[in-house]
């Protein structure tokens, strides 16, 4: 484990610590901590885990072999982490910026391209003179969102995600809408970001173009593996790609501006002269013969993809160094400024060098601008490849952020009984493994379905995030109205404006993207919310039923009669073992039952039984002409439990095979009986184990 060079020293030392704890726990885990024998005077039950661990002798009875599954898991992911190891690193502003902003800042890598794509179709080359305007319009929205979230962070310094804010101000049901919206958005973030990362890679190496889908799935696979290993918010590791991307983008913009000022940054000479000519022609049409407001609004809505990820900091205020909320607000403003600079800068460059948004999705606009600015000389091409690498890395990191957020949000839903409880369960390495796997599979399906095309994915994107912005900012406005703390009027103005702007972007987006994929999300969110509500009803009903007089039931008197029934198919060692256990139970009455679907076999068994002279366990033969063994067994037991005065123990000889294929050689009549019988009240099915050995090669000749 220590030889893995890709992890920083901090991670390694942490891991060493965990491993130490885990090793010690082998000895302490099953140690009996307290025996609270409550007879006349109840003794207190205490968990005395602070005791120093006492190692057991070497040949201790708990020296059991580990399961194959556990060994595989431990080899792949490392040793299990103890629950105590769950502690959050406290982040300073520079690290926090790296951790929380990758999703947000990485959007600048594709937002300009998507705006251009919309404008290009309608306006041709005139797109280049319109892109800056659209960008600035979205930056106004961004400014209000930043201001809005500054309010949220101050008011909800512990958990300020849309789910929590909506739940607090509007109740559980609207919170489900906000939550589901965000969850769909996280899935799309993974799909869009990894697809965009692949586009960055393909722009550098066009030969890889036909492998886009497998490469994208490979990115998802790597992120899943890292997340299951539990390498999550380990701050410094995140800093490298984020700052590297900011630096190389910054360099490109500065060089671009310098060359522009010096007058030696020309328009990209597109190989496809036809395309250029055609678009030039159409551009003239567009400008002179009236370019619709619709196109501008459409481009504006698409530019909304740039501001996804702004909410990330509000979810993680507790991870900041003290004073948490102040540091978080500062980081938020820095993040917004960086995004604004890069986004506007790239759009401005694009308006001068005229990169074409290709239908294939590559070379990307950012790569075309980069190539034009850096040139194709020795240093220039090094910088170009650095830009592509930086873009790819930050995009993959952005997808990784969803892998931290999605499982956490899903665990909130599950904690409120709106999603399956399994999502609250921390796995081998303390992460929400079920949530991680669910997110990965959903995103992978999307990638495969859309062929990893950003243009298609983007039509579904941003809806969820703007819906949650709207709900969370409205919630904040209501919060101000309710609390009326100092400065509440200003707060209401900011949050209400934020909510309205988010809603406007949302509506425009839906208007223009509905037919291209947005309908999927529009359809999915209400369906999912209704499913979640149904789940909640079920959980509540179950809890009610289970808690109903549980305490009274625990001390209820026992049934007056205990009968043991052993179902046996033939008289072999596994049956003998079951009979031995039946006798150990010392019930009021016991018998062996054979379901006689084959008359001659039944008669033979009866004969053996008679010869054996087995005392105390009589044999009953039950005729079964239709060969429905489980049904006959059910009827035998049902007769016994009828009346509700008898507790029946149903014993089934259970042979344990060492290998799966050995097990497959036998039918599962025992399991069928167990399934059928255990549906009866007071019918308690016991599998009496008998271990089958391994085959000795010399034991059995092939022919008799």
- Exposure on the CB side of residue 68, measured as CA atoms within 13 A: 3
**Considering the complex, what minimum distance in angstroms separates the CB of residue 181 from a second copy?**
17
- Measured from the CB atom, is 1 or 585 closer to a second copy? 585
The answer to whether residues 461 and 192 touch, using CB atoms and an 8 Å cutoff, is yes
Which is closer to a second copy, CB of 394 or CB of 596?
596
Cα–Cα distance between 103 and 400 in angstroms, integer?
Answer: 9
Binding residue (CB under 8 A) for a second copy from 9, 42, 207, 273? 42
**Measured from the CB of residue 703, what is the shortest distance to a second copy in angstroms?**
4
Among positions 640-679, residues that touch a second copy (CB under 8 A) are 642-643, 647, 649, 651, 654-656, 662, 664-667, 674, 676, 678-679
Q: Is 438 a binder of a second copy (CB under 8 A)?
A: no
- Residue number with CB closer to a second copy (449 or 585): 585
Contact predicate 102/387, CB 8 Å: no
For a second copy, the binding residues in 575-634 under the rule CB under 8 A are: 575-577, 579-581, 583-586, 591, 596-599, 602-603, 606-616, 618-628, 631-632, 634
> How many residues of this chain interact with a second copy, rule: CB under 8 A?
154
271 versus 700: smaller Cβ distance to a second copy = 700
- The 3 state secondary structure assigned to 598-646 is CHHHHHHHHHHHHHHCCCCCCEEEEECCCCCHHHHHHHHHHHHHCCCCE
Q: Choose between 87 and 626: whose C-beta lies nearer to a second copy.
A: 626
Tell me if 213 contacts a second copy by CB under 8 A: no
Q: In which residue are the tokens 């008679």 written?
A: 610
Residues 6 or more apart whose Cβ sits within 8 Å of residue 180: 464, 525, 528, 529, 532
Q: Which stretch binds a second copy (CB under 8 A): 93-101, 478-486, 509-517, 570-578?
A: 570-578
Q: How far is the CB of 88 from a second copy (least distance, A)?
A: 18
Output the smallest distance, CB 335 to a second copy, in A: 34
Neighbours of 338 (CB within 10 A): 20
Q: Per the structure block, which two tokens stand in for 355?
A: 């990169």
Q: Which two tokens stand for residue 480?
A: 């101000």
d(CA 163, CA 185): 13
Token pair of 320 as six digits? 């900041």
Burial 424-463 (b: 16+ CB within 10 A, else e): bebbbbbbbbbbbebbbebbbebbeebebbbbbbbbbbbb
Backbone dihedral region for residue 101 (phi beyond 0: left; psi -120 to 50: alpha; all else: beta): alpha
Task: Report the distance separating Cα 72 and Cα 320, nearest Å.
Answer: 36
Between residue 83 and residue 142, which ones bind a second copy under the rule CB under 8 A?
83-84
Determine if 1 is a binding residue for a second copy (CB under 8 A).
no
Enumerate residues 67-86 that contact a second copy by CB under 8 A.
67, 70, 80-84
Two tokens at 252?
Answer: 């490109």
Binding positions for a second copy, 246-285, rule CB under 8 A: none
Q: Closest CB to a second copy among 220 and 650? A: 650
Pick from 121, 173, 239, 456 the residue near a second copy by CB under 8 A. 173
692 binds a second copy (CB under 8 A): yes
Which window, 33-41, 185-193, 265-273, 320-328, contacts a second copy (CB under 8 A)?
33-41
Query: Is 686 near a second copy (CB under 8 A)?
Result: yes
What's the chain's Rg over C-alpha atoms? 33
Question: Please, are residues 37 and 64 in contact by the beta-carbon 8 Å criterion?
Answer: no
Give buried/exposed letters for 61-84 (b at 16+ CB in 10 A, else e): eeeeeeeeeeeebeeebbbbbeee
* DSSP code of residue 359: T
- The 10 Å Cβ neighbour count of residue 40 is 4
Residue 61 binds a second copy, judged by CB under 8 A: yes
Q: Of the two residues 341 and 686, which places its CB atom closer to a second copy in the complex?
A: 686
Q: Which of residues 4-23 bind a second copy (CB under 8 A)?
A: 21-22
How near is the Cβ of 167 to a second copy at its closest, in Å? 9
> Which positions from 528 to 567 touch a second copy by CB under 8 A, shown as an x/- string?
-----x-xxxxxxxx-xxxxxxxx-xxxx-xx--x-----
């Amino acid at each position: 484990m220590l030889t893995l060079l890709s992890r920083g020293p901090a991670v390694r030392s942490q891991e060493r610590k965990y491993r130490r704890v885990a090793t010690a726990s082998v000895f302490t885990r099953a140690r009996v901590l307290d025996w609270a024998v409550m007879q006349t005077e109840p003794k207190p039950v205490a968990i005395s885990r602070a005791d120093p661990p006492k190692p057991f002798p070497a040949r201790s009875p708990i020296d059991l072999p580990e399961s194959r599954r556990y060994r595989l898991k431990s080899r792949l992911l490392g040793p299990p982490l103890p629950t105590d190891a769950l502690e959050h690193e406290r982040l300073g502003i520079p690290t926090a910026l790296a951790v929380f902003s990758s999703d947000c800042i990485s959007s600048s890598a594709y937002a300009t391209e998507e705006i251009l794509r919309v404008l290009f179709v309608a306006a041709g080359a005139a797109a280049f003179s319109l892109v800056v305007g659209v960008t600035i319009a979205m930056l106004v929205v961004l400014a209000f969102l930043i201001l809005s979230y500054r309010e949220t962070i101050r008011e909800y310094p512990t958990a300020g995600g849309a789910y929590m804010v909506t739940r607090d101000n509007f109740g559980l049901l609207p919170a489900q809408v906000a939550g589901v919206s965000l969850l769909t958005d996280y899935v799309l973030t993974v799909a869009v970001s990894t697809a965009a990362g692949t586009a960055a890679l393909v722009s550098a190496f066009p030969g890889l173009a036909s492998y886009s889908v497998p490469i994208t799935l490979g990115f998802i696979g790597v992120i899943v593996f890292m997340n299951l290993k539990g390498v999550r918010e380990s701050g410094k590791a995140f800093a490298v790609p984020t700052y590297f991307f900011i630096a190389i983008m910054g360099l490109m913009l500065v060089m671009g501006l310098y060359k522009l000022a010096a007058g030696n940054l020309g328009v990209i000479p597109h190989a496809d002269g036809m395309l250029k000519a055609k678009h030039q022609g159409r551009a003239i049409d567009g400008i002179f013969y009236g370019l619709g407001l619709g196109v501008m609004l459409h481009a504006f809505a698409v530019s909304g993809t740039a501001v996804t990820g702004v909410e990330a900091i509000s979810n993680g205020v507790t991870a900041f160094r003290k004073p948490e909320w102040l540091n978080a607000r500062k980081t938020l403003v820095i993040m917004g400024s960086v995004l604004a600079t890069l986004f506007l800068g790239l759009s401005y460059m694009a308006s001068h060098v005229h990169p074409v948004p290709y239908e294939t999705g590559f070379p990307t606009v950012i790569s075309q601008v980069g190539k034009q600015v850096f040139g194709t000389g020795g240093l220039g091409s090094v910088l170009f490849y650095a830009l592509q690498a930086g873009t790819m890395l930050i995009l993959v990191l952005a997808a990784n952020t969803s892998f931290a957020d999605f499982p956490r949000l899903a665990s909130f839903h599950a904690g409120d009984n709106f999603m399956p409880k399994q999502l609250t369960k921390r796995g081998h390495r303390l992460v929400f493994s079920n949530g991680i796997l669910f997110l990965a599979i959903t995103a992978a399906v999307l990638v495969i379905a859309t062929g990893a095309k950003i243009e298609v994915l983007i039509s579904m994107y941003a809806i969820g995030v703007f819906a949650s912005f709207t709900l969370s900012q409205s919630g904040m406005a209501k919060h101000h109205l309710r609390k009326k703390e100092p400065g509440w009027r200003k707060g209401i103005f900011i949050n209400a404006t934020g909510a309205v702007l988010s809603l406007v972007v949302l509506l425009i987006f839906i208007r223009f993207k509905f037919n291209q994929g947005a309908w999927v999300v529009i359809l999915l969110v209400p369906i999912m919310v209704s499913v979640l509500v149904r789940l909640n009803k079920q959980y509540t009903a179950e809890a009610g039923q289970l808690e109903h007089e549980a305490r009274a039931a625990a001390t209820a008197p026992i049934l007056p009669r205990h009968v043991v029934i052993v179902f046996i198919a033939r008289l072999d060692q596994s049956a003998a073992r079951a009979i031995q256990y039946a006798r150990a139970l010392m019930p009021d009455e016991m018998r062996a039952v054979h379901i006689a679907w084959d008359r001659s076999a039944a008669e033979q068994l009866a004969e053996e039984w008679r010869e054996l002279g087995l005392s105390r366990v009589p044999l009953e033969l039950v005729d079964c002409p239709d060969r429905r063994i489980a049904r006959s067994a059910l009827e035998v037991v049902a007769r016994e439990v009828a009346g509700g005065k008898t507790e029946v123990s149903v014993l089934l000889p259970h042979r344990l095979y060492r290998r799966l294929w050995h097990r497959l050689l036998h039918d599962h009549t025992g399991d069928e009986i167990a399934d059928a019988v255990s549906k009866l009240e007071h019918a308690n099915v016991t599998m009496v184990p008998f271990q089958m050995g391994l085959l000795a090669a010399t034991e059995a000749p092939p022919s008799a």
